[in-house]
Structure 1
Amino acid sequence: MTVLQEAIDQSLSREAKRIALYHGEQAYRIGELKDQSLKMAAGLIQQGLEVGDRVGFMLPNCPEALITTLASYNQGLVIVPINYRFQANDASKFIDQVEPKLLVYHVDKEPVVTELKQRYSEIKYFCVGDQSAVETEHSPAFETLPGNDLLEAASGIPEDHPALILFTSGSTGIPKGVVHSQRTVFEAFDSARQIFDFNEEDVVLVGKSISHAGGLQTQLFPAFAAGSQIVLATNPSPAEAVAIIQRHKVTEYAMLASNFLDFVEFMEAHHEGLPSLRKCIASGDAVPHDLHERFKKLFGWEALEGCGMTEVGTYYSVNPLYGKRKWGSIGLPAPNMQVRVVQSDDKTAAVNETGELMVKSPTNTIGYWNNPEATKRLFSDGWLHTGDLGYADEDGYFWFVSRKKLLIVRRGSNISPVEIENVLDEHPLIHATVVVGVPDDRDGEVPVACIASMEDTNRPVESELREFVAPQLAAYKLPKHYLFLSELPQTATGKFDRHELEEMAGEAFAK
C-alpha cells in the first residue's frame, strides 16, 4: 500500500464505536465510516471506473465528501473537489480540463447540474439529499452508489500516482489544476497534523471549505489521521461557530483572515465563553497586528498565523504552536519544509532583504494537470516558486510583503499593498482594507485604498484617513484615492477579491 492508503487504513482501524465525525445532529462512528468508505470503493469500481479516472464532487462540508474521497484514494482514483459556490460556467472550466467520469453533488446544486448534464451527458451523476421537490429529471441517489461488498485498498498503486486535483483561485486567468500524488497528499496533511499537534483528545471544527487545500489538507485529513473528533460545518457565521464550539467543546478552529476578523468582532460584542478552545489559526490574507492583540485580550493566548498555497498542499510557514510567535510574521518553516528568499538573479537574499519565497518540500505538487509549460516554470532546481515576496529576519522568521503580481509600481518604486493595508487597518473606524493599483497618466500606477467601515453610519472621512497614514508611510506609498464600500467582495475561496476591486477602482479613478 502507499503511505496514503496506509494512513487511511490506520485511521479506519481505530475503535469502531468511537465517534469520529459530527455533522449537524448526526454522529458518525469509525466503524460506520469504514464500512461506508469500503462499500463506496466497491461501488465506484462497479460503475466502471479504473485507476487514474477522475471523480468530482460539488458538495458542502459533509460526510459524503469524506467517504467519496477516502474511497477514491484507496482505489487509485483521482478526487476533484469543485467549489460548492460555483455556477455551471465556473464548474465547466474544471470539468473541461479534468474530464471526470463521475460527479457527486448536493441537491441544492440541481439547477447547476441540470446545465452540466446538457453539456456533459457522458458523466455519471449521483445526488446527495432529498430530490422529492426537484422538478427536473432525478439523478441516482448517493445511497445507490456504494456496493454491497467491502473493497479493500487497491494494490500496486505507485507513490507518485495522482490522487487529488485542486484548482488555483484563477483571479488572474484560467484556473490551473494542481496535481497532488498519493505521497504528497499524505505528506501535506501529515505536516499540518504536526503543526497543530492534533491528537485523539482534540475536537476540530472544520469550517473552511474542503473544496480547497485549507479545509481538506490542513484541517479535515490531519485531524482524521490523528484520531481527533471532527465537526463539519460549511463556513459558519461567528454565532454559529460559537454555538458549535460550546456544544462540542471544540479545541481547534481555523479561519480565513476575513472570517477571523468577523469572529473577533462578534466575540467582543457578545462576550461568549469558549473555555475549550485552545488553538486557532488565521490565514489566506495578512492579519493586522491590532487584530492579534484584540484576540489575545479576549482569550488570553495568541492565535497562529501562517502562509500556504495550493501547490504546496498545506502551510509552508507558520508561527509555532509552542514557543515564540511574532505577530505579523508568517512564522517559521513548517515541518518538512525548506524555505529560502531569493533575488531575481537566483541568489539567496540577505537577512531582512526582500525577495521571492521558495519552497522545497515532499508536499510540493507533482505539477499542473496537462500543463507541462506551467509546471516547468513553477520549479527551479527542485525549489517551488511561491510567487510570494517576503524576507527573513535575524531570528529566521519569515515576513510576507506581497504577491509578486500585486506589487504596485509608482514611478519606478515598488509598493506593497499589504504594508498600506496594515497601517489603515489600525484605524478604529475601519473594518477591512484592500489596496489595489490603478493606471495613472503621470505616475504609471497609483495605490487605491478600498475601505469597508465598521458601521455605515460612522464612516471614516477621507481627510482623516489621509492625516492618519501620512506620518506612517513614505509619500510615494500614500494612497492617491479612497474607495468606500459597505463590504469588500470575496472570491469563491473566501479571500478578498482583489481582481474585482481592481476593476471597481479602475472604473472610478484610472486615468
Structure 2
Amino acid sequence: MNLIEEISRRHPSDAVAVISGGRSVTYGELFDGASEVAAEIRNAARPLQRHPRIGLHCPDGLDYIILAMGILLADACLVPLAEELTAEEREEITHTTSLDFTLDGKPDHGGHVLKRLKTKPPAFPEDDFQALNPAFIRFSSGTTGTSKGVVLSHETLLARITAANEGLKIGPDDKVLWMLPLAHHFAVSIVLYLYAGAVTVLEPSPAREDILAAAEAHEATVMYGAPFHYAMLGADTGSFRWPSLRLAVATAAALPEATARAFEQRFDQALVQGLGIIEVGLSVLNLEDAASTPTAIGRALPAYEVALLDPSGNPVAEGEAGEFHIRGPGLLDAYLVPWDPAPLRDGYFASGDLVVRHSDGLLTLVGRSKSVINVAGMKVFPEEVESVLNLHPEVEASRVVGKDHPHTGQIPIAEIIPRDPANPPKAIALQRYCREHLSAYKVPLRFKPVDHLPRTASGKIRRV
C-alpha cells in the first residue's frame, strides 16, 4: 500500500489542496509535481532494488509538500533533515539512517537537487527494515530518554491519521491554517489533511497581523499551532473575531492557562490541547473540557486505551501520577538504532510522561518520568517550576534540573535567561517569588543566568 496513491484516489483533481503565498494549488497539481519527483527518484534508485532512504532538506512551503509527497510516492523512505539542524547533526542523521540520497529543495533558485550518497552499511538489519514497507524515519526529542529513530510504515501512517481524525473530524469543508515546521509534522498532520480532503493554508510569516489576515482572507476553520502562536494572537487588539474558526489545537509544548484564557476571550474559541508523541501520534485530545480545564490533555480518542502505571508496572490510584502507557492503532513499527521491531509491552507504548487521571476521567500531564527531581523522597516536576519562573517579569525563559545532594538525594537548580542580561534578577528575589507559588521543597536553591538554554530540534527544553 502507498499512502500517497490512496490520497490521489480520494479527491477530484481540481479541488484545492494547498494555499501558499496567495496561490491556490489543486490536488491534481500536487500529484503532477509529486509524480515528476517520484519518477526521478525511481530512476536514480533502480540499481538498489529496494526502498531507498532519502533525506529531505527544504524550507517550509509548497515545495516541501511536493517533494515529500514525491519521496513517498516513489516508495522511498522519508527522513526529514530540519532546517535548524547543524551540519554535525545533519551528518549524524545521514550516517545513522544510512541515507541513500539527499533531496535538497531550492525554492529561491527553482527546482531541487537529488544527490546520491555513499555511506557505511546500516547498523540495522536491512532486510527487516525493508519488510516494513517503510515510509518515514523521525528522530524524537528524547521521548524515552534518547533519540533512537522512529520507523513508520505506510500502513501505520494511515492507521494513525484515521484514528486521530475521529477526534479532529477534519474534512473537505475545512481550511487548516498551518504554523508549525513541516519537517516535524508533515508525515502525520499534513498527510492527514490531504487524506481528509481539507485545504492547508501555509502562512510563512510569524507576524500576528499576517496570521490573522490569512485567517480572514481564507476563512480558516482550523488552526494548528504552538502555545507561542496562541499567546501572540490572544494579545491582539484588532477587531477581527475569526467567526469561521471551529477548532484551535495547541501542540508541541504545554499550554499555559493564561494563554488559553486570553485566546478564548479574544476569539470566543477554547484552545484544545492534545498529547502528540512521535511513537504514537495524536491519541489524547481535550475536546470536551477545553473551556473549563484548558491545561488538561483530555481523554483518549476512541481507538486508544490508556494505562497509568507505577515503576513496578501496577496501576496507580485515581489522582496519583503514573507513567502514561497507550495502546491502539498507528504505534511505531520499530526503533531504528538499536534495532527494535517490538518496542511495546503487552501492546502498550510506555511514553515516559507522568499523567494524572481525575475522577471524571480527564487526564493531566504533570511531568516527565526521566526529568523528575527527587528531593528527600518528594517529587519535583521541572515543568511546574519552570512555568512559575517563566511568569516572573525579569525572566525570559528557564530550565530546572536536579543536582545530586548528599543529604536530600537531589536539589533543584534553575538556569534562567534574563530579560535584561545587563541587570539579571537577584537570586533571593527569584526564590521569594517561587515560594509564593510553590511548596518550599520545589524552590530552586541556585539560579544561574545563561545566554541560552539547550533545546531539542523541535524546540523543547533538553533534559538529558
The TM-score range, normalised by the shorter chain, is 0.7 to 0.9
The 5 Å alignment of 1:258-277 reads 258-265=228-235, 267=236, 273-277=241-245
Letter in 1 for 2:435: A
- State the number of aligned residues: 448
Letter in 2 for 1:44: I
**1:384: how far off?**
0.7
Higher helix share: 1
The residue that corresponds to 2:380 in the other structure is: 415
The residue that corresponds to 2:21 in the other structure is: 24
- Structure 1 CA distance for aligned equivalents of residues 209 and 417 of structure 2: 21
- Structure 1 CA distance for aligned equivalents of residues 393 and 301 of structure 2: 34
Letter in 2 for 1:42: A
- Structure 2 CA distance for aligned equivalents of residues 395 and 74 of structure 1: 44
- Structure 1 CA distance for aligned equivalents of residues 416 and 378 of structure 2: 24
**1:480: how far off?**
1.6
Q: Is the CA contact 1:290–1:426 (under 8 Å) kept in the aligned structure 2?
A: no
Q: Secondary structure at the match of 2:183?
A: coil
**1:388: how far off?**
0.6
1:130 aligns with 2:102: no
Deviations 1:154-211 (A, max 9, x none): xxxx994211111113599863210001111112222333332212221112221121
1:331 aligns with 2:298: yes
- Structure 2 CA distance for aligned equivalents of residues 6 and 322 of structure 1: 37
Q: Is the CA contact 2:354–2:367 (under 8 Å) kept in the aligned structure 1?
A: yes
The residue that corresponds to 1:368 in the other structure is: 335
Is the alpha carbon distance of 1:272 and 1:428 closer, same or farther for their aligned partners in structure 2, counting shifts above 3 Å?
farther
The 5 Å alignment of 1:51-450 reads 51-107=50-106, 128-130=107-109, 141-142=111-112, 160-170=132-142, 175-212=147-184, 215-234=185-204, 236-265=206-235, 267=236, 273-312=241-280, 314-320=281-287, 326-372=293-339, 378-424=343-389, 432-440=397-405, 442-450=407-415
Q: Is the CA contact 2:248–2:269 (under 8 Å) kept in the aligned structure 1?
A: no
- Structure 1 CA distance for aligned equivalents of residues 218 and 423 of structure 2: 37
Deviations 1:323-362 (A, max 9, x none): 8752221110134221110112212222112111001121
Which stretch shows the higher mean deviation, 454-463 or 221-230?
A: 454-463
**1:495: how far off?**
2.3
Q: Is the CA contact 2:310–2:323 (under 8 Å) kept in the aligned structure 1?
A: yes
- Structure 1 CA distance for aligned equivalents of residues 337 and 423 of structure 2: 51
**1:85: how far off?**
1.5
- Structure 2 CA distance for aligned equivalents of residues 90 and 162 of structure 1: 23
Letter in 2 for 1:29: T
**1:288: how far off?**
2.0
Is the alpha carbon distance of 1:409 and 1:144 closer, same or farther for their aligned partners in structure 2, counting shifts above 3 Å?
closer
The residue that corresponds to 1:509 in the other structure is: none
- Structure 1 CA distance for aligned equivalents of residues 346 and 389 of structure 2: 39
Taking structure 2 as the reference length, the TM-score comes to 0.85
Letter in 2 for 1:76: D
1:39 aligns with 2:18: no
Q: Is the CA contact 1:79–1:165 (under 8 Å) kept in the aligned structure 2?
A: yes
- Structure 1 CA distance for aligned equivalents of residues 355 and 316 of structure 2: 10
Q: Is the CA contact 2:231–2:262 (under 8 Å) kept in the aligned structure 1?
A: no
Is the alpha carbon distance of 1:325 and 1:210 closer, same or farther for their aligned partners in structure 2, counting shifts above 3 Å?
farther
**1:458: how far off?**
10
- Structure 1 CA distance for aligned equivalents of residues 452 and 208 of structure 2: 17
Deviations 1:101-137 (A, max 9, x none): 2211134xxxxxxxxxxxxxxxxxxxx5417xxxxxx
**1:99: how far off?**
2.1
Is the alpha carbon distance of 1:382 and 1:234 closer, same or farther for their aligned partners in structure 2, counting shifts above 3 Å?
farther
Is the alpha carbon distance of 1:339 and 1:464 closer, same or farther for their aligned partners in structure 2, counting shifts above 3 Å?
same
Is the alpha carbon distance of 1:347 and 1:170 closer, same or farther for their aligned partners in structure 2, counting shifts above 3 Å?
closer
Is the alpha carbon distance of 1:324 and 1:300 closer, same or farther for their aligned partners in structure 2, counting shifts above 3 Å?
closer
Q: Is the CA contact 2:148–2:337 (under 8 Å) kept in the aligned structure 1?
A: no
Which stretch shows the higher mean deviation, 66-75 or 222-231?
A: 66-75
Letter in 2 for 1:436: V
Q: Is the CA contact 1:169–1:493 (under 8 Å) kept in the aligned structure 2?
A: yes
Taking structure 1 as the reference length, the TM-score comes to 0.78
Q: Is the CA contact 1:178–1:365 (under 8 Å) kept in the aligned structure 2?
A: yes
Letter in 2 for 1:100: L
Q: Secondary structure at the match of 2:211?
A: helix
Q: Is the CA contact 2:136–2:187 (under 8 Å) kept in the aligned structure 1?
A: no
Which stretch shows the higher mean deviation, 52-61 or 480-489?
A: 480-489
Q: Secondary structure at the match of 2:269?
A: coil
The 5 Å alignment of 1:453-492 reads 462-484=427-449, 490-492=455-457
Letter in 1 for 2:100: K
The residue that corresponds to 1:9 in the other structure is: 8
- Structure 1 CA distance for aligned equivalents of residues 43 and 141 of structure 2: 34
Q: Is the CA contact 2:138–2:149 (under 8 Å) kept in the aligned structure 1?
A: yes
Any stretches of 5+ residues in structure 2 without a counterpart? Answer: 116-129
The residue that corresponds to 2:119 in the other structure is: none
